[in-house]
Structure 1
Amino acid sequence: MLRIAICDDEQEAVESHKKAVEAALGLLRAVGEMITYTSSDNLFCDIVEDGFHFDLILLDIEMPGRTGMELAEQLRPVLPHVKIIFITSHVEYAIDAYELSIFRYVPKNDEGKKLFNALTDAIGLLMLEDGKVYTIQTSSRLEKIPYREIYFIERDGKNASITWEKGVSKVRGSLQQIYEELASEEFIFIDRGCIVNLIHVMQVKNSMVLLENGASLPISRSHLQGVKEQINTYWGMHI
């Protein structure tokens, strides 16, 4: 079940956004629990002090107390995978929203279809990420790594290293073997020695892939066109 928070200091806006979330959940046949807030401070306290978890947060930027921008920055270390959709009437915030890795920015004066599309994209991606794990098992250890937490996998001599949310885990086996074990379309080769998780790709520029965790990885010349096509196909199919 997805946990979704809606925060806007205007109750009318909260109710409107709630209906949009319900419509998106219905379209995707997803199950979600919603909690609504008219105070950013209350949302902050529930998450930071009481340990509430959310997969998706809809945030108004212009609010009394903590602004949506301030709240997003403060929540990122606590909920590193949360998807945040900003809703605001001030266009100039879009650049700052990008710098905070905000999932989507929706202007208030044009929120109808754009908000619904943003919600279906976010919920669709969350459903795609949910539940898959890669298991590393040896005689001395058993480790399960959620797919959604894997950023990239690199060749490490005759073995491999998985860079994920909690650090780096070593795996015995070739990259090709691990790729086949993952058996999931969100993982692609960008070089003979590197696999990336498309879920975390933020940008492809100048033969480099920029990931959500700040990593910048080179794409080999022979893989460049294929990588671009795979990314376009992947997002076209899923969001």
Structure 2
Amino acid sequence: MIRIAIVEDELRYQEQLIEFLRRFQQEKDVKIEIETYSDGDEFIGKYKAQFDIILMDIQLPFIDGMSAAEEIRKIDSKVVIIFITNMAQYAIQGYAVDALDYVLKPITYFSFSERLNRAYERMKKRETKYLTIRLKGGITRLELSDVYYIESLGHKLIFYTKEGELMSSGAMKELERELKNYHFFRGHKGYLINLEHVSGMNDSNAVVKGIKLPISRTKRKAFLEALADYWGDVIK
């Protein structure tokens, strides 16, 4: 089942999106649960990371969609956000809140279904996966989605995670090989980055949870390509 929130203040677009979602549901033979909201303020007040996908208008009463998305990202890094708007120039800024894509008004089913299918595929990629690491005095199992990035310091590995920092020992090269199929990218010899938590690029740095991590000049192109692929071509 896919849980989808529609955050849109215009009733005609709410109804159109519901109609498109029902059509998509039949085509993909997947159950979709829908909730609708008319303003971003109301939505944020009730948000508890209960949705898989959010379809959000950028122009909303009380709080705009971009600001609402920023608040959502503070408590939920996994939900897929797709902006619905008639202003492409604002939607493109969505990479700052890890928005997957945007749909321009007036909405066509072809355009909408392409974006929704991309979101559906991204959800499937986010099935829970774990990594077991050795710590001083024992071992622990980490959910990969909770790992922001990993730093190599000599023979030590520091895991920066949702729960804080963890120190282990081992070779970064071996870890890179183990995680190569799970959207982790080594953009610099000292850092292995989870693309899920990259919010953007700043000069020669990737921004991860507000921290700037260096990307080597020789790896920059490959890193941007990997990031664009993960984001669903948002920044191409």
Matched, 1:132 2:129: yes
Of the candidates 67, 70, 73, which is equivalent to residue 76 of structure 1? 73
Question: Which one of 165, 169, 173 corresponds to residue 170 of structure 2?
Answer: 173
Name the CA shift for 1:18/1:80 in 2 (closer, same or farther; >3 Å).
Answer: same
Matched length? 233
- Within the alignment, does 1:216 sit opposite 2:226 as a pair? no
Relative to structure 1, the CA distance from residue 77 to residue 231 in structure 2 (aligned partners, 3 Å threshold; closer, same or farther) is closer
Structure 1 residue 160: Cα displacement:
0.7
Please report how far the alpha carbon of residue 107 of structure 1 lies from its aligned counterpart in structure 2 after TM superposition.
2.1
Identity %: 28
Measure, in 2, the Cα distance between the counterparts of 1:131 and 1:125: 13
Mark the runs of 5 or more structure 1 residues left unpaired by the alignment.
none
Q: Which residue of 2 aligns with 1:53?
A: 50
SS at match of 2:106: helix
Aligned residues of 1:53 and 1:79 also touching (Cα < 8 A): no
Give the CA deviation at 1:44: 2.6
Q: Structure 1, residues 61-116: CA drift from partner, whole Å, max 9, x if none?
A: 33334433343233232223332222122445336545444332322135543333
Q: Which residue of structure 2 aligns with residue 36 of structure 1? A: 36
- Conserved? CA contact 1:2–1:31, under 8 Å: yes
Of the three residues 137, 148, 158, the one matched with 1:151 is: 148
Mapped to 1, the partners of 2:227 and 2:65 lie a distance apart of 30
Q: Give the aligned residue type for 1:63.
A: L
**Shift in CA distance, 235/92, structure 1 to aligned 2, threshold 3 Å:** closer
- RMSD of aligned alpha carbons: 3.4
Contact 1:162 1:168 in 2 (8 A): yes
* 1:87 aligns to 2:87 (yes or no): no
Asked if the contact 1:46–1:52 (Cα under 8 Å) also holds between the matched residues in 2, the reply is no
Q: Cα distance 1:63–1:191, how it changes in 2: closer, same or farther (>3 A)? A: closer
Distance 1:6 1:234 in 2: 23
List alignment gaps of at least 5 residues for structure 2.
none
Name the CA shift for 1:43/1:209 in 2 (closer, same or farther; >3 Å): same
| Cross-structure match for 2:102 | 105
Tell me the residue number matched to 1:8. Answer: 8
Q: Give 1:163's aligned residue.
A: 160
In 1, Cα distance between equivalents of 2:50 and 2:101? 20
2:209 partner letter: N
8 Å CA contact 2:150–2:158 kept in 1: the answer is yes
Quickly say closer, same or farther: Cα 1:15–1:100, change in 2 above 3 A: same
Give CA-to-partner distance per residue, 1:117-138, whole Å, 9 cap, x none: 3222222222212211222344
Counterpart of 1:18, as a letter, is I
When structure 1 is superposed on structure 2, of 225-234 and 138-147 the one drifting more is 225-234
- Using the TM superposition, give the Cα deviation of residue 202 of structure 1 relative to its aligned residue in structure 2, in angstroms: 5.0
TM-score (norm 1): 0.75
Residue 63 (str. 1) matches residue 57 (str. 2): no
Contact 2:134 2:169 in 1 (8 A): no
